[in-house]
Structure 1
Amino acid sequence: MKLRHLTRSSRTALAIALAAPAVIALPQAAHAQPAAQSFSIPAGDLRAALQAFSSSTGIQLVYSSDLVVGKRSSGVSGEMTAQAALARLLAGTGLSARMSGNSATITRAGAAGEIAAQDGERVLGPVRIEGDQGSPYFGGAGRAAGVNGVNGSRDITATEGTGSFTSGALTIGSKVAQSMKDVPQSISVLTSERLEQQNVTDFTTAMRQLPGITLVQGGSSMETQFLSRGFLINSIQIDGGAPLSMSFGLRDGYNPQIDMSIYDHVEILRGAAGQFGAYGNPSGTVNLVRKKPLDHGQLTIDAQAGSWSNYRLVVDATTPLAFDGKLRGRLVTTYQDQRYFYDRAKLNKILIYGVTELDVTPTTLLTAGLNYTKQDTVPWIGGLPRYQTGADLKLPRSTSLVFPWNRWDFETRELFGTLEQKIGSEWLLKLNVTQNRQTSFRKTAGSEGAVNPVNGLGPDMIGAYYDTGSEQLSAEATLTGAFMLFGQRQEVTMGVNRVASDATDGFAYQALILGASFNLYQPYANGPIYCGSGPAFCPAGTVNRTYPPVNVLNFNPNDPIYTEPRAPLASGRFLENGQVRSSAYLNLRLTAFDRLHLTTGLRWTREETNQIQQALCVNLASSGCVGKAIGDVRSEPLNRHYGSTDFSWPPAANLSFDVTKALTVYAGYTDIYASQSQYRTVQETALAPVTGGNWEAGVKWAARDGKLNLTLAAYRMQQKGSAIRDMSIPEYEVSQGVRCCYIGDPNNIVQSTGIDVEVSGELRRGLQFSASYNYNKTTYEGKTYEEYGMAGTTYNSISPRHVYKLWMSYDFGAAGHSGKISGLTLSGGVNGQSSAYYTGYFCQNYIGEPNPVNGQQECASWGPPDFAPYEFTVPAYAVVSARIDYRFSDKWSLALNLENILDKTYYQTVSNSPSSGHWYGAPRSVTASLRAKW
């Protein structure tokens, strides 16, 4: 194999290997810094890109000819040194360059030292220069290693184009870009490469791939809960901003419907996450990082077709717009039309995302954008029931109880902007604002009730109607930087944030649309009239105490008794329905003796909830409505105003020690806090907040210059004082409309203990790997639970003890193979967990004649021996998936994703009742993706 010496007019080419990052080998300048010049080399064939580079710089390139066939560069645009421009051209190719005078030798990237070239010639391996690649602090080392921020984005945490399964810089848990090993808590990332390889299109699918996360289906096919360390994740960040609530107003406000086509990567912190915000839940928090404009033109088209008539098209374009590249833009449009493995449910979605960046000055960056999503769905409400005995119905996985007229439609508008101002070389001021407005219309029905094993009846059709609007406005200002003290670098982060949530606009109360005494349901002329109330409220001639029966075992959605009901009258409205959370924080990373670091911080939080609620007349015979008209106010408004203030003390404190440059050990404490001011004690005082602590110790190793990250952590969390009903006092409402009476004794403890293990990144050239194992055990502890007979029992039994996830990929081209096989990438993995369960009681002794309409019977009594315990189990399962990807050229590729290859039949979610809430996992499926990139 010959080595060719290329001059300005020579043809040049290089191999692009998507799975391995580029590291440019550049010597330190002996004296003055190299002069910058302007570059404008478009993305495309690397042969042409390097020829343009050589022509514009006069630098001679030396390379081995087996690296050159059919490869691609991301291009480079802007003013920079020749060394930095060459680094950009090689980013994501698995190649590195060594500068020597007016020439550069290009080889495959490897460990520092010597690399054997073809024909026995030996050249130096990659050498990194901080001046060219950026500061090693605040995530700069990750950029230098080529595992983030090398694709032409100003965002140092960007993972697009790196081909890596890991990142060298995340903002989760720190508010400033830090390497994973420098954050003394358990954090993980789902990079752009994994989003593409595992065909992650929505937020639920993304969470399914993250370490330690368990998915629990909610009350409908549109709602999913996420558990981490046994607790519910209830907050989310976007671009590291103030945390937004994932639980505020699930029925009366914001319901996140997140498409992943606009995000570069996902970051997650497991454990207490309240250090920089108002959410001190022990589960953790998620950070979604938006795609940003690139400094070069790029157009990507991704078209998909999959099982069950699932079609999707994403067009993603970015380019410099004006002012010599100082103004850049990006536009993403997404269309999806999707069916599900169960009958009749469907989704149709249109998304438009636009973002611009402007370099106002060399130290000032302004970003502004919008995101519009319109989503129309035919959802499944309630899931499957079981027999009254608790036995599984064993129905086909395609079975659903979806009524054809069901609909749940969303329209979401998001505006956002950031301003970043560098102050000197070490300080950064950042303002981050996001406004999210959503309207939601829902008219649905589902099945409720267990199935009588004798006659196959029991469930009823239950319907509801919502017409809601919500808004969340989040704003945050942070100042981050570093200073020298006692000869050591000390880092500081301080900030304030505020999230205001409001669900007043357009709200109509939840109203039953089937069979209430004020809203009788007659599905067709001369048909039965259903009245769900008792004889005292139901008119003569109606079918009392029931709704339309649902024959689950022989369901016919076109039965006339399931005719779409009329919309109900509004039974109430909110004059005010909002929540405001404000925080201020100070975080220090103090260093002593070079290797020893103390991370500590303080946080102040204020939370307020304000609701003014009016009931409206829908039945003129009811109390308060006699002599009034339909829609008149029924009674005095119900006011709910409550709030709490917290100052984190003792402060969070984490100690870490750099054993070597790549190995760090840490141990520390982070506080847990959650307001409970909506609950009242018997003395009618607000319940104290939930408190507690998260103790964690671990080891983090960043191998292969940050291309491979390994973490091992052990933790113990105690959450104290959660509200428990005071069973000695009947439940009632106090004057402000909040519930009474509750106990919040600090001796009421929920404990979570476990182990996290994760490895992610490049094991060897061309081989990317991500594997995690999480063990978790939750129990009730403390005197209060002892009195209730609950001490030592499992707190959250639906959260499995063991969760493991694996995904690995081998890129033949990146590994050095040539010829046709160089375009092939094979990937595969498995997601699995141990068993989980719910327990409860069911009636095993029914008396009386069955109801002639729905087959329901009365239980002989509400205690033993007529009630017997049951356990609904999600058995242990493992779901195997794979992907085959072939690059036909530097522009075109075709991939096949196969999910649940072994066609495992399993329940992903069960409920604590035989009446509903049991959901199958998806069967085997295939998705074909045709991708083009210019």
Structure 2
Amino acid sequence: MSSPQVLRLSKLSFATSLILSGYAFADEVKAKDEPLEKIAVYGQHHKNYITEEAQSATKLGLTIKETPQSISVVSRALMDDFSLDDINSVLESTPGVTVEQIETDRTYFKARGFEITNFQVDGLGIPQSSGSIQGSLDTSIYDRVEIVRGANGLMTGAGNPSATVNMVLKKPTYTTQANASASYGSWNKKRLDLDVSTPINDEHAVRAVFTKQKADSYLDRYETDKTIVYLAYEGKLTDSTSLSVNYVNQQKDADSPLWGALPLYYTDGTPTDYDESTSTAADWSYWDNSAEQVYVTLEQNLSATWVARARYAHVKNDQKSELFFVYGTPNKETGLGLTGYASRYDYSDKHDLFDLYASGKFDLFGQEHDLSFGVSQAKMDYKDLSLYDYTTGNGFPAMPSLKTWDGVMPEATLADSENGSDITNEQKSAYISTRLKLSEPLSLLAGVRYTDWETKGTAYSVSQTRSDSELIPYIGTVYDFSDTLSAYASYTETFVPQKELDINANQLPAITGKSSEIGVKAQLLDDQLFVTFAYFDAKQDGLAVALPNSVPGDTRYYAADGINSNGFEVELSGKFTDDLSASISFSNLSIDGDDLVKDYTPENQLKVAATYQVPLVDGLSFGANYRWQDSTSRVQVKDANGMAAVTTNQDAYGLLDLMATYEITDNIGVTFNINNTTGEKYLNSLYWAQGYYGAPRNYGLSVNWQL
């Protein structure tokens, strides 16, 4: 049997051969002086950009080809064509990313075996204490979504060696533009999108986006109501000073949402098999989420090649909910044995973020180099409150069989055992990065970020006070073999503060993360096709693990070896012919150090998105969006010897979405979508011990108008 090292090398050799053989058969292309556009996963056909630069990774204004990390961009076109209306569906179409949909209104995202906790808006980091997104982030206000895979500690400070997700807001335009879309779909889904942008004069412009969506669901009783308002201003205060202000308000109200999900096995160990519509939500439960965000950017040109930017953001999130959880293991014959659990949960957080940096170019030893440096500060306050019903008998009711239950349950009086959290986090950072042109084909990127993290407060009567600081290095290199082919390597780190205490009641050190990556990037077919290959190795150390025989209520921990993941990613995106545009990606992932994570994380993923413009029928296009992952599992029960006694298995599956669009006139078009065309039945996630099924086949029709 081949060793793991041999298998890894064989995978690497195969993927490298694929890239280089594709390059060998490509047409020669002419060199271009202008910088290259960020390569979109789909839809933006790779025309060259002058001003838009990949800011997600370094703040040096580098293109994707010049950046020594894997970067994918989901374009506005892909979001529109396949109705990717929230960040969940966007990341489902992103190479190497796993979307762990554990409830209807709470989702975790993973990449390279680790939770994604680093999110940005227009390159400004929004620190997260965990990787979950509650409610949903609608994509109607974004121009594109950039995903930098691997550790990105230089830009984001605390976080995991997984990925950074940068959501780029729509900008005002200096020509009047307007578009509208009205759609109707399965389960009475109704959606309206309005987007208008206009100049005030030659130096000032505004943009407004409004979205309204109401929908029932394939899940019993579940209904949602979303409203999104976005306002943007951009203008020049002087010839060298510009100002932009962005305002976002998102509201999502959900009736009868899932809190937890379905039990996945019976008392005899056999798997449950409920209808896809089965829900554990009570008919009186709700989960309402609102978010309000303000972003202000002041930009000052210091010279022809230097600019300073000051950015401020105020972000506020509020949740109010009364939820119903179902736990236990049902009897296979009767369906009985489950218990309900009602809770009221209120949550609010407030982020105040500030970032000041300068970037530009300098000449040294006959070459032009890039430099960026700055400071940032983030203050994050959050409070939550939990209430239960231990008095009326409705707080923990015995459940009937889920196969016949209609959601009717006496409403609990949620007023007991008030508890919660009141925590303040503060992160201060200073950073510097540079790109040095050692020779015409060879560049060296280096940077360092110092981050100080301090937490004060309590969570459910447990002190959260902690303080950590870390110096995070970044180094990378890019070698251009030609104008169309380059190779790169990079190494960077992250850290994650921990609140857990060791046996001596001392706070455990922060979890440290390391990520290294090598790869090649090529532009083929007259710059119309972009190909990337990356091999990566990522690791976390110092993960808190509970000590056995800890005193209940006073659990102590030790720092253990963390997860080690390695693998490769291949991506081809662009215009294959005059009529065919596509993105094709394959990712492979191997995990060591945590069997649970290894089992529920797919080892292989294939993602394909493509559209074909029918040559003989002007305005007619067809498209397909396909996502496949191999089998996953979760050990639910172990026997006395520590061996698996009950395991939940999810077989490999693929989801196929189809699209057809027809432009009736230059201004009006219609789009028809079929999602999960083959009617695949599958569990959304095995991230938790419970789970629920994804949506069956469904349809949507939209009418689109543009000025």
TM-score normalised over the length of structure 1: 0.69
Distance (whole Å) between structure 2 residues aligned to residue 795 and residue 445 of structure 1: 27
Cα offset, 1:306, TM superposition: 0.6
The residue that corresponds to 1:741 in the other structure is 556
Distance (whole Å) between structure 2 residues aligned to residue 605 and residue 755 of structure 1: 30
8 A Cα contact 1:447 1:550, kept in partner: no
Match of 1:722 among 543, 546, 553: 543
**1:887-925 C-alpha deviation (Å, 9 max, x unpaired):** 011100001011111111122223554xxx221121111
Question: 1:220-619 to 2 correspondence within 5 Å?
Answer: 220-245=103-128, 247=130, 255=134, 257-321=136-200, 324-378=201-255, 379-385=257-263, 386-504=265-383, 507=384, 509-513=385-389, 516=390, 519-521=391-393, 547-558=397-408, 562-569=409-416, 571-572=418-419, 574=421, 576-612=422-458
Distance (whole Å) between structure 2 residues aligned to residue 267 and residue 354 of structure 1: 21
**1:919 matched to 2:704:** no
- Residues 910 and 641 of structure 1, relative CA distance in 2, 3 Å threshold: closer
The residue that corresponds to 2:618 in the other structure is 822
Letter in 2 for 1:927: G
Question: 1:840-919 to 2 correspondence within 5 Å?
Answer: 840-841=636-637, 863=640, 869-910=645-686, 913=689, 917-919=690-692
- Residues 762 and 434 of structure 1, relative CA distance in 2, 3 Å threshold: same
Is the partner of 1:361 in helix, strand or coil? coil
Distance (whole Å) between structure 2 residues aligned to residue 640 and residue 346 of structure 1: 36
Is the partner of 2:155 in helix, strand or coil? coil
Letter in 2 for 1:710: V
The residue that corresponds to 1:633 in the other structure is none
Gaps of 5+ in 2: 1-26
Is the partner of 2:479 in helix, strand or coil? strand
- Residues 743 and 160 of structure 1, relative CA distance in 2, 3 Å threshold: closer
**1:276-306 C-alpha deviation (Å, 9 max, x unpaired):** 2222411111000000101111110011111
8 A Cα contact 2:312 2:352, kept in partner: yes
Is the partner of 1:308 in helix, strand or coil? helix
The residue that corresponds to 1:764 in the other structure is 577
8 A Cα contact 1:166 1:190, kept in partner: no
Question: 1:777-792 to 2 correspondence within 5 Å?
Answer: 777-780=590-593
The residue that corresponds to 1:172 in the other structure is 56
Distance (whole Å) between structure 1 residues aligned to residue 459 and residue 67 of structure 2: 44
The residue that corresponds to 2:36 in the other structure is 141
Q: Which moved more, 1:398-407 or 1:832-841?
A: 398-407
The residue that corresponds to 1:801 in the other structure is 603
Distance (whole Å) between structure 1 residues aligned to residue 484 and residue 95 of structure 2: 22
The residue that corresponds to 2:80 in the other structure is 196
8 A Cα contact 1:242 1:499, kept in partner: no
- Residues 925 and 229 of structure 1, relative CA distance in 2, 3 Å threshold: same
Distance (whole Å) between structure 2 residues aligned to residue 658 and residue 868 of structure 1: 51
Alignment root-mean-square deviation, CA: 2.6
- Residues 243 and 375 of structure 1, relative CA distance in 2, 3 Å threshold: closer
The residue that corresponds to 2:23 in the other structure is none
Gaps of 5+ in 1: 1-109, 114-126, 131-135, 149-158, 523-529, 533-546, 616-637, 734-739, 781-789, 843-861
Is the partner of 1:723 in helix, strand or coil? strand
Letter in 2 for 1:212: G
Cα offset, 1:164, TM superposition: 5.7
Match of 2:501 among 673, 680, 685: 680
8 A Cα contact 1:166 1:709, kept in partner: no
Question: Which is greater in Rg?
Answer: 1
The residue that corresponds to 2:635 in the other structure is 839
Cα offset, 1:729, TM superposition: 5.0
8 A Cα contact 2:105 2:135, kept in partner: no
Aligned residues: 677
Cα offset, 1:474, TM superposition: 1.7
Cα offset, 1:194, TM superposition: 0.8
The residue that corresponds to 1:664 in the other structure is 486
Q: Which moved more, 1:564-573 or 1:165-174?
A: 165-174
8 A Cα contact 1:277 1:583, kept in partner: no
Cα offset, 1:166, TM superposition: 11
Distance (whole Å) between structure 2 residues aligned to residue 293 and residue 605 of structure 1: 34
Which 4+ runs in 1 deviate beyond 6 A?
110-113, 165-168
Letter in 1 for 2:245: A
8 A Cα contact 1:839 1:912, kept in partner: no
The residue that corresponds to 1:710 in the other structure is 531
**1:320-355 C-alpha deviation (Å, 9 max, x unpaired):** 12xx32110000011000121111101001111100
Distance (whole Å) between structure 2 residues aligned to residue 164 and residue 392 of structure 1: 48
Distance (whole Å) between structure 2 residues aligned to residue 714 and residue 797 of structure 1: 21
Letter in 2 for 1:829: N
More strand by share: 2
8 A Cα contact 2:118 2:125, kept in partner: no
Match of 2:67 among 183, 194, 200: 183
Letter in 2 for 1:439: D
Cα offset, 1:416, TM superposition: 1.1
Cα offset, 1:726, TM superposition: 2.6
8 A Cα contact 1:752 1:776, kept in partner: yes
Letter in 1 for 2:466: Y
8 A Cα contact 1:165 1:191, kept in partner: no
- Residues 569 and 692 of structure 1, relative CA distance in 2, 3 Å threshold: closer
The residue that corresponds to 1:647 in the other structure is 471
Distance (whole Å) between structure 2 residues aligned to residue 887 and residue 912 of structure 1: 44
Letter in 2 for 1:172: S
Is the partner of 2:89 in helix, strand or coil? helix
- Residues 577 and 665 of structure 1, relative CA distance in 2, 3 Å threshold: same
**1:811-831 C-alpha deviation (Å, 9 max, x unpaired):** 24xxxx46xx11111111310
Letter in 2 for 1:207: L
8 A Cα contact 1:233 1:283, kept in partner: yes
Cα offset, 1:313, TM superposition: 0.2
**1:648-675 C-alpha deviation (Å, 9 max, x unpaired):** 2xx3221211000111101231123222
Distance (whole Å) between structure 2 residues aligned to residue 880 and residue 826 of structure 1: 13
- Residues 177 and 307 of structure 1, relative CA distance in 2, 3 Å threshold: farther
The residue that corresponds to 1:123 in the other structure is none
**1:159-210 C-alpha deviation (Å, 9 max, x unpaired):** 9994669988422212243211111011111011111112110111111111
Distance (whole Å) between structure 2 residues aligned to residue 280 and residue 468 of structure 1: 23
Is the partner of 1:797 in helix, strand or coil? helix
Which structure ranks higher in relative contact order (CA pairs < 8 Å, sequence separation ≥ 6)? 2
- Residues 895 and 918 of structure 1, relative CA distance in 2, 3 Å threshold: same
Cα offset, 1:567, TM superposition: 3.2
